[in-house]
Amino acid sequence: MAEQQKAPQSKDDRLNAALSYVWIVSLIMYATKRENEFVAFHARQGIVLFIASLLGVIPVVGWIIVLIAVIAMIIGFMKANDGVWYKFPLVGDLAERFK
């Protein structure tokens, strides 16, 4: 897990970025706030976690993935709300492909 230091974000940007970790809201935030680099960064990670959470239909393995995704969503929500550019391992790398 890596934290990047960049310019401080406005309260609205932090809230929008934090909401990007709430399942399908990540798609909405990415579509509407794509021009904001901070929100788009967190929305892309939220999209990857949202897709991972859809694997919950697979017994046992899917449930474990969903549990990990939900924990990551909570961490991402808190980091985004604090204005931190927080890149998750693997998730962040997959999210960068959405650019």
Residue that has been written with the tokens 């935030």 in this structure: 29
Residue 60 placed within a domain: yes
Residue 96 placed within a domain: no
Residue 99 placed within a domain: no
pTM for the whole structure: 0.86
Residue 92 placed within a domain: no
**CA–CA distances in Å: residue 1 to residues 15, 22, 40:** 21, 20, 18
Confidence of residue 9 (pLDDT cuts 50, 70, 90): confident
Can you tell me the distance from the alpha carbon of 9 to that of 85, in angstroms, rounded to the nearest whole number? 10
Residue 63 placed within a domain: yes
The domain in which residue 62 lies consists of 8-85
As for how many domains the chain has, the answer is 1
Can you tell me the distance from the alpha carbon of 50 to that of 43, in angstroms, rounded to the nearest whole number? 10
Residue 56 placed within a domain: yes
Q: For 41-96, what is each residue's pLDDT tens digit?
A: 999 999 999 999 998 888 899 999 999 999 999 999 999 999 999 999 999 998 99
Residue 62 placed within a domain: yes
Q: For 25-51, what is each residue's pLDDT tens digit?
A: 999 999 999 999 999 999 999 999 999
**CA–CA distances in Å: residue 7 to residues 4, 11, 43, 72, 84:** 10, 13, 18, 23, 9
CB atoms within 10 A of CB 59: 7
